[in-house]
Chain A
Protein backbone atom coordinates (compact mmCIF):
# COMPACT_ATOMS: atom_id res chain seq x y z
CA UNK A 1 0.00 0.00 0.00
CA UNK A 2 1.26 3.42 -0.87
CA UNK A 3 1.99 5.57 2.14
CA UNK A 4 -0.46 8.22 1.01
CA UNK A 5 -3.33 5.77 1.15
CA UNK A 6 -2.80 4.45 4.65
CA UNK A 7 -4.91 7.02 6.38
CA UNK A 8 -8.59 6.78 5.75
CA UNK A 9 -9.14 10.51 5.41
CA UNK A 10 -7.46 13.85 6.05
CA UNK A 11 -9.52 16.99 6.47
CA UNK A 12 -8.01 20.47 6.72
CA UNK A 13 -9.84 23.67 7.55
CA UNK A 14 -8.46 27.17 7.43
CA UNK A 15 -9.48 30.61 8.55
CA UNK A 16 -9.33 32.32 5.19
CA UNK A 17 -8.60 35.68 6.83
CA UNK A 18 -5.50 34.40 8.59
CA UNK A 19 -2.13 35.78 7.60
CA UNK A 20 0.33 32.92 7.29
CA UNK A 21 2.84 34.86 5.21
CA UNK A 22 4.24 36.63 8.25
CA UNK A 23 4.49 33.60 10.51
CA UNK A 24 8.10 32.85 11.40
CA UNK A 25 8.05 31.22 14.85
CA UNK A 26 5.97 28.46 16.28
CA UNK A 27 5.65 26.48 19.48
CA UNK A 28 4.71 22.82 19.40
CA UNK A 29 3.28 21.10 22.42
CA UNK A 30 5.42 18.32 23.83
CA UNK A 31 2.70 15.67 24.09
CA UNK A 32 -0.18 14.29 22.11
CA UNK A 33 -3.18 14.46 24.38
CA UNK A 34 -5.63 11.59 24.42
CA UNK A 35 -9.21 12.65 24.71
CA UNK A 36 -10.86 11.75 26.91
CA UNK A 37 -8.16 10.98 29.44
CA UNK A 38 -8.24 7.68 31.28
CA UNK A 39 -9.39 8.00 34.86
CA UNK A 40 -5.93 7.08 36.08
CA UNK A 41 -4.40 9.55 33.60
CA UNK A 42 -2.50 6.79 31.80
CA UNK A 43 -2.13 6.92 28.04
CA UNK A 44 -3.10 4.25 25.55
CA UNK A 45 -1.19 5.83 22.72
CA UNK A 46 2.30 4.28 22.47
CA UNK A 47 5.04 6.75 23.26
CA UNK A 48 6.77 5.89 20.00
CA UNK A 49 3.64 6.84 18.09
CA UNK A 50 3.30 10.05 20.04
CA UNK A 51 6.93 10.96 19.33
CA UNK A 52 6.53 10.17 15.65
CA UNK A 53 3.42 12.33 15.37
CA UNK A 54 5.17 15.30 16.94
CA UNK A 55 8.31 14.76 14.88
CA UNK A 56 6.30 14.65 11.70
CA UNK A 57 4.44 17.85 12.56
CA UNK A 58 7.71 19.52 13.51
CA UNK A 59 9.37 18.42 10.27
CA UNK A 60 6.56 19.84 8.18
CA UNK A 61 6.52 23.12 10.10
CA UNK A 62 10.26 23.48 9.70
CA UNK A 63 9.86 22.79 6.00
CA UNK A 64 7.72 25.93 5.83
CA UNK A 65 10.75 27.88 6.93
CA UNK A 66 9.35 28.47 10.40
CA UNK A 67 11.52 28.26 13.51
CA UNK A 68 10.49 26.34 16.59
CA UNK A 69 10.48 28.07 19.95
CA UNK A 70 10.70 25.71 22.90
CA UNK A 71 9.92 28.22 25.65
CA UNK A 72 7.02 30.30 24.43
CA UNK A 73 7.00 32.43 27.55
CA UNK A 74 10.56 33.54 27.05
CA UNK A 75 10.28 34.09 23.32
CA UNK A 76 7.14 35.28 21.63
CA UNK A 77 5.73 33.00 18.98
CA UNK A 78 3.39 33.62 16.08
CA UNK A 79 1.44 30.37 16.29
CA UNK A 80 0.92 27.50 18.70
CA UNK A 81 0.44 24.01 17.32
CA UNK A 82 -1.30 21.38 19.42
CA UNK A 83 -2.08 17.71 18.81
CA UNK A 84 -4.57 15.30 20.30
CA UNK A 85 -6.08 11.91 19.55
CA UNK A 86 -9.63 10.87 20.24
CA UNK A 87 -10.17 7.45 21.72
CA UNK A 88 -13.94 7.55 21.74
CA UNK A 89 -16.56 8.48 19.23
CA UNK A 90 -18.51 11.69 19.01
CA UNK A 91 -15.88 13.97 20.43
CA UNK A 92 -16.53 17.55 19.53
CA UNK A 93 -13.87 20.03 18.76
CA UNK A 94 -14.52 22.31 21.68
CA UNK A 95 -14.09 19.34 23.98
CA UNK A 96 -10.54 18.97 22.81
CA UNK A 97 -9.71 22.46 23.71
CA UNK A 98 -10.24 22.43 27.42
CA UNK A 99 -7.85 19.58 28.05
CA UNK A 100 -4.98 21.77 27.08
CA UNK A 101 -5.52 24.15 29.94
CA UNK A 102 -4.48 21.47 32.37
CA UNK A 103 -1.10 20.56 31.08
CA UNK A 104 0.40 22.97 28.61
CA UNK A 105 2.51 25.55 30.46
CA UNK A 106 3.34 28.02 27.75
CA UNK A 107 0.12 29.77 26.94
CA UNK A 108 0.28 33.55 26.94
CA UNK A 109 -0.56 35.14 30.26
CA UNK A 110 -4.26 35.69 30.49
CA UNK A 111 -5.30 32.76 28.33
CA UNK A 112 -7.23 30.22 30.26
CA UNK A 113 -10.56 29.08 31.53
CA UNK A 114 -13.23 31.60 30.74
CA UNK A 115 -11.97 32.27 27.26
CA UNK A 116 -14.03 31.21 24.34
CA UNK A 117 -12.64 29.72 21.23
CA UNK A 118 -12.89 30.46 17.59
CA UNK A 119 -12.67 27.89 14.88
CA UNK A 120 -12.88 28.43 11.15
CA UNK A 121 -16.12 27.59 9.48
CA UNK A 122 -18.41 24.97 10.82
CA UNK A 123 -16.08 22.99 12.99
CA UNK A 124 -18.32 23.51 15.95
CA UNK A 125 -20.51 20.73 14.69
CA UNK A 126 -17.81 18.36 13.55
CA UNK A 127 -17.96 15.02 15.31
CA UNK A 128 -14.86 12.88 15.53
CA UNK A 129 -14.60 9.17 15.51
CA UNK A 130 -12.32 6.82 17.32
CA UNK A 131 -8.73 7.15 16.28
CA UNK A 132 -8.78 10.69 14.96
CA UNK A 133 -5.63 12.76 15.21
CA UNK A 134 -6.54 16.42 15.54
CA UNK A 135 -3.98 19.17 15.13
CA UNK A 136 -4.77 22.83 15.78
CA UNK A 137 -2.77 25.90 14.84
CA UNK A 138 -3.57 28.89 17.02
CA UNK A 139 -2.65 32.44 16.10
CA UNK A 140 -0.81 33.96 19.06
CA UNK A 141 -0.03 37.37 17.62
CA UNK A 142 -1.55 40.46 19.16
CA UNK A 143 -2.52 41.62 15.68
CA UNK A 144 -4.88 38.74 15.16
CA UNK A 145 -8.39 39.99 14.39
CA UNK A 146 -9.62 38.17 17.46
CA UNK A 147 -7.17 39.75 19.91
CA UNK A 148 -8.98 41.30 22.81
CA UNK A 149 -12.12 39.27 22.22
CA UNK A 150 -11.28 36.51 24.69
CA UNK A 151 -11.17 34.13 21.81
CA UNK A 152 -8.57 31.52 21.04
CA UNK A 153 -8.14 31.91 17.29
CA UNK A 154 -7.65 28.53 15.68
CA UNK A 155 -6.57 29.53 12.19
CA UNK A 156 -5.75 26.12 10.75
CA UNK A 157 -6.68 22.67 11.85
CA UNK A 158 -6.64 19.17 10.47
CA UNK A 159 -7.94 15.75 11.34
CA UNK A 160 -6.54 12.37 10.30
CA UNK A 161 -8.97 9.50 10.63
CA UNK A 162 -7.82 5.95 11.18
CA UNK A 163 -4.92 6.62 13.52
CA UNK A 164 -5.92 4.04 16.12
CA UNK A 165 -7.19 1.30 13.87
CA UNK A 166 -4.19 -0.88 14.72
CA UNK A 167 -1.20 -0.04 16.84
CA UNK A 168 1.24 -1.48 14.35
CA UNK A 169 -0.03 0.93 11.70
CA UNK A 170 -0.38 3.97 13.92
CA UNK A 171 2.85 5.64 12.95
CA UNK A 172 2.56 5.11 9.23
CA UNK A 173 -1.06 6.25 9.20
CA UNK A 174 -0.43 9.29 11.33
CA UNK A 175 2.67 10.52 9.53
CA UNK A 176 1.21 9.92 6.08
CA UNK A 177 -1.85 11.87 7.12
CA UNK A 178 0.20 14.72 8.55
CA UNK A 179 2.22 14.98 5.35
CA UNK A 180 -0.99 15.05 3.34
CA UNK A 181 -2.49 17.77 5.54
CA UNK A 182 0.46 20.04 4.87
CA UNK A 183 0.56 19.11 1.20
CA UNK A 184 -3.06 20.12 0.68
CA UNK A 185 -2.56 23.43 2.53
CA UNK A 186 -0.21 25.43 0.28
CA UNK A 187 -1.47 28.70 1.78
CA UNK A 188 0.69 27.99 4.84
CA UNK A 189 3.62 29.04 2.70
CA UNK A 190 2.13 32.45 2.36
CA UNK A 191 0.05 32.08 -0.77
CA UNK A 192 -3.63 32.84 -0.97
CA UNK A 193 -5.94 30.36 0.76
CA UNK A 194 -7.22 27.55 -1.47
Chain B
Protein backbone atom coordinates (compact mmCIF):
# COMPACT_ATOMS: atom_id res chain seq x y z
CA UNK B 1 0.00 0.00 0.00
CA UNK B 2 2.82 2.32 0.81
CA UNK B 3 4.44 1.84 -2.61
CA UNK B 4 1.22 2.73 -4.45
CA UNK B 5 0.89 5.97 -2.49
CA UNK B 6 4.42 6.95 -3.36
CA UNK B 7 3.95 6.45 -7.10
CA UNK B 8 0.92 8.69 -7.14
CA UNK B 9 2.48 11.27 -4.92
CA UNK B 10 5.28 12.08 -7.38
CA UNK B 11 2.84 13.24 -10.04
CA UNK B 12 2.25 16.71 -8.64
CA UNK B 13 4.09 19.38 -6.75
CA UNK B 14 1.80 19.15 -3.75
CA UNK B 15 2.43 15.42 -3.69
CA UNK B 16 6.03 15.93 -2.65
CA UNK B 17 4.92 16.03 0.96
CA UNK B 18 3.48 12.57 0.64
CA UNK B 19 6.58 11.49 -1.23
CA UNK B 20 8.75 12.64 1.66
CA UNK B 21 6.68 10.57 4.04
CA UNK B 22 6.80 7.55 1.77
CA UNK B 23 10.54 7.71 1.19
CA UNK B 24 11.28 7.75 4.86
CA UNK B 25 8.93 4.85 5.50
CA UNK B 26 10.39 2.84 2.63
CA UNK B 27 13.84 3.23 4.10
CA UNK B 28 12.95 0.59 6.63
CA UNK B 29 11.95 -2.98 5.72
CA UNK B 30 9.85 -3.01 8.88
CA UNK B 31 7.85 0.09 7.93
CA UNK B 32 4.54 -1.66 8.29
CA UNK B 33 5.25 -2.41 11.91
CA UNK B 34 6.79 0.93 12.79
CA UNK B 35 6.01 2.13 16.33
CA UNK B 36 3.65 5.07 16.36
CA UNK B 37 3.55 8.17 18.51
CA UNK B 38 0.61 10.58 18.47
CA UNK B 39 1.14 14.10 19.76
CA UNK B 40 -1.15 17.02 20.55
CA UNK B 41 0.58 20.39 20.81
CA UNK B 42 -0.39 23.85 21.96
CA UNK B 43 1.14 26.01 19.28
CA UNK B 44 2.05 29.69 19.54
CA UNK B 45 3.27 31.87 16.69
CA UNK B 46 5.70 34.73 16.19
CA UNK B 47 5.01 36.44 12.84
CA UNK B 48 7.97 37.26 10.59
CA UNK B 49 8.36 38.75 7.13
CA UNK B 50 5.15 39.65 5.37
CA UNK B 51 3.14 38.19 8.20
CA UNK B 52 4.75 40.60 10.62
CA UNK B 53 4.13 43.47 8.25
CA UNK B 54 0.44 42.63 8.32
CA UNK B 55 0.14 41.53 11.96
CA UNK B 56 2.84 42.46 14.44
CA UNK B 57 1.46 40.51 17.34
CA UNK B 58 2.46 37.26 19.03
CA UNK B 59 -0.26 34.64 18.90
CA UNK B 60 -1.01 32.27 21.75
CA UNK B 61 -3.83 30.54 19.92
CA UNK B 62 -3.13 27.42 17.94
CA UNK B 63 -2.75 23.67 18.08
CA UNK B 64 -1.55 20.73 16.04
CA UNK B 65 -2.26 17.03 15.83
CA UNK B 66 0.86 15.12 14.88
CA UNK B 67 1.59 11.48 14.23
CA UNK B 68 5.00 9.88 13.81
CA UNK B 69 6.01 6.39 12.78
CA UNK B 70 9.48 5.28 13.85
CA UNK B 71 10.87 3.58 10.80
CA UNK B 72 14.26 3.37 12.47
CA UNK B 73 15.26 4.10 16.05
CA UNK B 74 16.56 7.48 14.93
CA UNK B 75 14.26 8.22 11.99
CA UNK B 76 10.55 8.86 12.00
CA UNK B 77 8.04 9.87 9.36
CA UNK B 78 4.90 11.67 10.24
CA UNK B 79 2.01 13.95 9.52
CA UNK B 80 1.02 17.33 10.90
CA UNK B 81 -2.45 18.84 10.87
CA UNK B 82 -2.68 22.20 12.57
CA UNK B 83 -4.68 25.34 13.15
CA UNK B 84 -3.00 28.65 13.91
CA UNK B 85 -4.65 31.97 14.56
CA UNK B 86 -2.65 35.18 14.13
CA UNK B 87 -4.52 38.41 14.79
CA UNK B 88 -4.30 42.00 15.88
CA UNK B 89 -6.89 44.61 16.77
CA UNK B 90 -6.21 48.34 16.76
CA UNK B 91 -8.68 50.90 18.01
CA UNK B 92 -7.48 53.49 15.55
CA UNK B 93 -5.38 52.91 12.47
CA UNK B 94 -4.90 55.33 9.62
CA UNK B 95 -4.20 54.46 6.01
CA UNK B 96 -3.00 57.10 3.59
CA UNK B 97 -3.60 56.74 -0.11
CA UNK B 98 -2.97 59.12 -3.00
CA UNK B 99 -6.18 61.10 -2.63
CA UNK B 100 -7.11 60.67 0.97
CA UNK B 101 -6.94 59.00 4.35
CA UNK B 102 -9.03 56.39 6.12
CA UNK B 103 -9.07 56.03 9.91
CA UNK B 104 -10.87 53.49 11.99
CA UNK B 105 -10.83 50.38 14.09
CA UNK B 106 -9.04 47.55 12.35
CA UNK B 107 -8.97 43.87 13.01
CA UNK B 108 -6.41 41.90 11.05
CA UNK B 109 -6.53 38.18 11.07
CA UNK B 110 -4.81 35.19 9.53
CA UNK B 111 -6.06 31.67 9.95
CA UNK B 112 -3.42 29.18 8.91
CA UNK B 113 -4.04 25.46 8.53
CA UNK B 114 -0.81 23.55 7.93
CA UNK B 115 -1.13 20.07 6.45
CA UNK B 116 2.36 18.62 6.25
CA UNK B 117 4.28 15.42 5.93
CA UNK B 118 7.35 15.34 8.09
CA UNK B 119 10.60 13.46 8.57
CA UNK B 120 12.54 13.65 11.81
CA UNK B 121 16.00 12.61 12.85
CA UNK B 122 16.38 11.70 16.52
CA UNK B 123 19.86 12.29 17.94
CA UNK B 124 21.34 9.53 20.03
CA UNK B 125 18.17 7.50 19.93
CA UNK B 126 19.89 4.14 19.59
CA UNK B 127 20.02 3.95 23.37
CA UNK B 128 17.18 4.11 25.87
CA UNK B 129 17.06 7.52 27.50
CA UNK B 130 14.49 10.10 28.63
CA UNK B 131 15.63 13.12 26.62
CA UNK B 132 15.61 12.90 22.83
CA UNK B 133 16.69 15.92 20.77
CA UNK B 134 15.37 15.90 17.24
CA UNK B 135 15.49 17.86 14.01
CA UNK B 136 13.08 17.57 11.12
CA UNK B 137 11.62 18.93 7.95
CA UNK B 138 7.96 19.29 7.06
CA UNK B 139 6.72 19.57 3.54
CA UNK B 140 3.20 20.09 2.34
CA UNK B 141 0.43 22.62 2.00
CA UNK B 142 -0.92 25.54 3.98
CA UNK B 143 -4.45 26.85 3.74
CA UNK B 144 -4.43 30.54 4.67
CA UNK B 145 -7.36 32.93 5.10
CA UNK B 146 -6.59 36.63 5.37
CA UNK B 147 -9.24 38.88 6.88
CA UNK B 148 -9.29 42.63 7.33
CA UNK B 149 -12.09 44.36 9.19
CA UNK B 150 -12.10 48.12 8.84
CA UNK B 151 -14.87 49.89 10.66
CA UNK B 152 -18.03 48.10 9.69
CA UNK B 153 -16.52 46.74 6.50
CA UNK B 154 -14.84 43.39 6.12
CA UNK B 155 -12.89 41.68 3.38
CA UNK B 156 -11.17 38.32 3.19
CA UNK B 157 -9.26 36.07 0.82
CA UNK B 158 -8.33 32.42 1.12
CA UNK B 159 -5.63 30.57 -0.79
CA UNK B 160 -3.52 27.42 -0.83
CA UNK B 161 0.25 27.49 -0.44
CA UNK B 162 2.95 24.94 -0.88
CA UNK B 163 5.40 25.22 1.97
CA UNK B 164 8.31 24.05 4.07
CA UNK B 165 8.65 23.72 7.82
CA UNK B 166 12.10 22.95 9.24
CA UNK B 167 11.99 22.24 12.94
CA UNK B 168 14.02 21.31 15.98
CA UNK B 169 13.09 20.29 19.47
CA UNK B 170 13.35 17.86 22.28
CA UNK B 171 11.18 15.04 23.54
CA UNK B 172 11.24 14.24 27.24
CA UNK B 173 9.81 10.95 28.42
CA UNK B 174 9.27 7.53 26.96
CA UNK B 175 9.29 7.28 23.19
CA UNK B 176 7.97 3.73 23.17
CA UNK B 177 5.09 2.52 25.27
CA UNK B 178 4.38 5.58 27.39
CA UNK B 179 3.89 9.32 27.42
CA UNK B 180 6.29 12.12 26.67
CA UNK B 181 6.38 15.90 26.45
CA UNK B 182 7.74 17.74 23.46
CA UNK B 183 9.09 21.22 22.92
CA UNK B 184 9.30 22.21 19.29
CA UNK B 185 10.49 25.25 17.36
CA UNK B 186 9.24 25.21 13.79
CA UNK B 187 9.72 27.75 11.04
CA UNK B 188 6.59 27.70 8.92
CA UNK B 189 7.20 29.02 5.46
CA UNK B 190 4.24 28.90 3.08
CA UNK B 191 5.69 29.92 -0.27
CA UNK B 192 4.50 33.13 -1.89
CA UNK B 193 1.17 32.50 -3.55
CA UNK B 194 -2.39 33.68 -3.81
CA UNK B 195 -4.15 36.89 -4.67
CA UNK B 196 -4.61 38.49 -1.29
CA UNK B 197 -6.18 41.77 -0.24
CA UNK B 198 -4.40 44.45 -2.16
CA UNK B 199 -3.94 42.13 -5.12
CA UNK B 200 -0.55 40.73 -4.21
CA UNK B 201 0.87 37.28 -3.52
CA UNK B 202 2.09 36.70 0.01
CA UNK B 203 4.30 34.32 1.97
CA UNK B 204 2.73 34.11 5.42
CA UNK B 205 5.71 32.86 7.41
CA UNK B 206 5.94 32.55 11.18
CA UNK B 207 7.95 30.86 13.88
CA UNK B 208 5.95 28.31 15.78
CA UNK B 209 6.76 27.48 19.40
CA UNK B 210 4.86 24.47 20.65
CA UNK B 211 4.48 22.39 23.77
CA UNK B 212 3.05 18.97 23.24
CA UNK B 213 2.11 15.77 24.93
CA UNK B 214 2.67 12.52 23.11
CA UNK B 215 1.33 9.05 23.63
CA UNK B 216 3.08 5.95 22.39
CA UNK B 217 0.93 2.81 22.54
CA UNK B 218 2.68 -0.26 23.92
Contact = CB atoms under 8 A, between A and B. Distances in A.
Interface of A: 2, 4-5, 7-16, 120-121, 129, 161-162, 180, 184-185, 194
B132 to A, nearest CB: 50
B128 interface: no
Kindly list the 7 A-B residue pairs having the minimum CB-CB distance in the complex, ordered from nearest.
A9-B151, A9-B104, A8-B151, A13-B100, A121-B99, A5-B91, A11-B102
Given A4-B92, A121-B98, A184 B103 contact: yes
B152 A185 contact: no
B152 A120 contact: no
B101 to A, nearest CB: 4
Contact of A11 (B91, B92, B100): B100
Contacts of A12: 100-102
Given A9-B153, A161-B151, A161-B152, A194 B105 contact: no
A145 to B, nearest CB: 15
A129 B101 contact: no
Given A4-B92, A184-B103, 20 more contacts: A2-B91, A4-B91, A7-B151, A8-B152, A9-B104, A9-B150, A9-B152, A9-B153, A10-B103, A11-B100, A11-B101, A12-B101, A13-B99, A13-B100, A14-B100, A15-B99, A16-B99, A120-B99, A121-B100, A129-B153
A171 B105 CA distance: 18
8 contacts: A4-B92, A8-B152, A12-B101, A12-B102, A129-B152, A161-B151, A180-B103, A184-B101
Contacts of B127: none
Band of interface residues on B: 10 to 19
Interface SS, A side: loop
B94 interface: yes
A4 B94 CA distance: 12
Contacts of B94: 184
B96 interface: yes
Contacts of A120: 99-100
Contacts of A5: 91-92, 105
B153 A10 contact: no
Contacts of B151: 7-9, 161-162
A161 B152 CA distance: 7
> Of residues A2, A5, A9, A120, which shows the largest number of chain B Cβ atoms within 10 Å of its Cβ?
A9
A174 B153 CA distance: 18
Contacts of A9: 102-105, 150-153
Contacts of A129: 152-153
Nearest to A8: B151
A8 B101 contact: no
A157 to B, nearest CB: 9
A8 B100 contact: no
Q: Which of B91, B103, B152 has the most CB of A within 10 A?
A: B103
Q: Which interface residue of B101, B150, B153 has the most chain A CB atoms within 10 A?
A: B101
Contacts of B101: 11-12, 184-185, 194
